[in-house]
Amino acid sequence: MTIGKNLLAYPTKEEAMDEISTVSDADESAINGIITYANYHSIITGVERTWQYGGFPQPDGTFWYYREPNAAVVVEGERLRVTAKLSRSHDQVQILDNAKNMFFSTRTFTPPENGEIVFEWEQKARCMGTAAHDLYDGFISVNLLDFTTGAALDFFVCNEIITTVYAILPFPGVPMLPDKELSDKPKYFCDFDELPIETSLGQLHRYRISYHRGKDEVAYGVDGREVARYKDVPIKLNGFAIALGLMTEKTIEHGKSVSVHGQTLIGEWGKFTITTTKE
C-alpha cells in the first residue's frame, strides 16, 4: 500500500515498512538527463499521484501521518501553496513532532554511481505567530530524504532566516547504520547553518541542492550563488524522495511537545528541475 491510499486506516508495522520502501524504490529513468517534477494537481485529484502525505511508523506499529487536518491546499498551474494553523504534535518521538504537514514525492531520484544529481526549485515562506528571529518556531522546508540511510539534505526558511540542513538521522523504520569504532565523527548528526542572506516574509528565492556520489560532496545554493559545501560525506547516498513541509523544530520537554502555540505557516513551492550527470 502507499501512504496516500487511505489516510484514516493506519497500516500495520509490516505495511508501514512497505510504505517507506515503496517511496525509496529507485527510478532509473531519471539517470543522465534533465526532468521536471510537479503535477501538484494530483494531491487534490488523486490521479497519477506524484505526491502523498508523508510520515513514519510509530513504536506501537501504527503510522504517523504528517497531515494537518485543516490545511488548505491550493494549486495554481505548477505552483503549490499550503496554509495551516498548526495543531498536531507528538509527545514521545521528536521526528514525528517536527513535521506538521508534509508531502513526499511518490518517486525517488537516484544519483549516478560516480556522478552528480542536482535539484532546483523556487520557494516562498510566510510564518505568522512565530517567535521573531527563531527559525525553529515555524518554517517552510524542502527535504531531500534517503530512506535507505537516514540522510536529509534540506532548506528551512522562515520570514527572515534561510538555513541549510545536512543530516544523517535514525529515521523510524529504517535499519540502523553500522558503527565505525575508529571513526572520529558521529554516526548520526544534524548541522543547521543559518545563512547571512537577507530575506523577508514571502520573498521568492531559487534554491539548489546537489550531491556528487563519486566525490562524496553536497552543495547548497541560493539565487545562483553557492552558500555551503560539505565534503567527505561519510556514507554513500542511494536516492532521494522530495518532501515539502510545514515544520517546527522544538525539543520535546519532560515528555511533552512544546511546538504548537497558534502559529500559522504558508508554504509555496514551484516545480522541481532535477539534473543528473554521469562521469
Q: Which amino acid is at 95?
A: I
Please provide the DSSP assignment of 58-79 as one string.
-TTS-EEE---TT-EEEEETTE
pLDDT band at 152, cuts 50/70/90?
Answer: very high
Residue 18 confidence class, pLDDT cut points 50, 70, 90: very low
**Residue 16 covered by a domain:** no
pLDDT at 159 exceeding the cut of 90? yes
Decide: 90 and 250 in contact? Cβ < 8 Å: no
Confidence of residue 6 (pLDDT cuts 50, 70, 90): very low
pLDDT number for residue 59: 87
Strands (E), 147-204: 151-157, 162-168, 189-194
13 versus 81: the higher-pLDDT residue is 81
Asked whether residue 13 is assigned to any structural domain, the reply reads no
Q: Is 14 among the domain residues?
A: no
Residue 11 forms part of a structural domain: no
* Average pLDDT score over residue span 92-112: 97
Rounded CA-CA distance 224/213 in Å is 22
The pLDDT of residue 235 is 94
DSSP assignment letter at 46: -
- Whether the pLDDT of residue 204 is over 90: the answer is yes
Please indicate, yes or no, if residue 196 is contained in any of the structural domains: yes
Mean pLDDT of 77-100: 97
43-63 pLDDT, tens digit each: 999 999 999 999 999 989 999
Q: Give residue 31's pLDDT.
A: 54
pLDDT, position 182? 63
The DSSP-derived string for 249-266 is: ----BTTB----SS-EEE
The total number of structural domains in the chain stands at: 1
Kindly report the CATH number assigned to the domain that includes residue 144.
2.60.120.200
Residue 5 lies in a domain: no
In a domain, 4, yes or no: no
29: DSSP letter: G
With a pLDDT cut of 90, the percent of the chain lying above it is 84
Quick one: what percent of the chain has pLDDT higher than 70? 89
- pLDDT tens, 128-144? 999 999 999 999 999 99
CA dist 95 and 167 (Å) reads 13
DSSP-derived secondary structure for 131-160: PTT-GGGSEEEEEEEETTTTEEEEEEE-SS
* pLDDT over 90 at 37, yes or no: yes
Distance, in Å, from the CA atom of 48 to the CA atom of 39, rounded to the nearest integer, reads: 9
Distances in Å between the Cα of 53 and the Cα atoms of 2, 33, 67, 105, 234 are: 9, 28, 7, 9, 30
Contact between residue 144 and residue 240 where contact means Cβ atoms under 8 Å apart = yes
In a domain, 209, yes or no: yes
- Answer yes or no: are the C-beta atoms of 229 and 218 closer than 8 Å: yes
> In this predicted model, which residue has the larger pLDDT, 182 or 107?
107
Query: Comparing C-alpha atoms, which of 99, 100, 227 is closest to residue 161?
Result: 227
Q: Give the domain range for residue 57.
A: 23-253+264-277
pLDDT of residue 121: 98
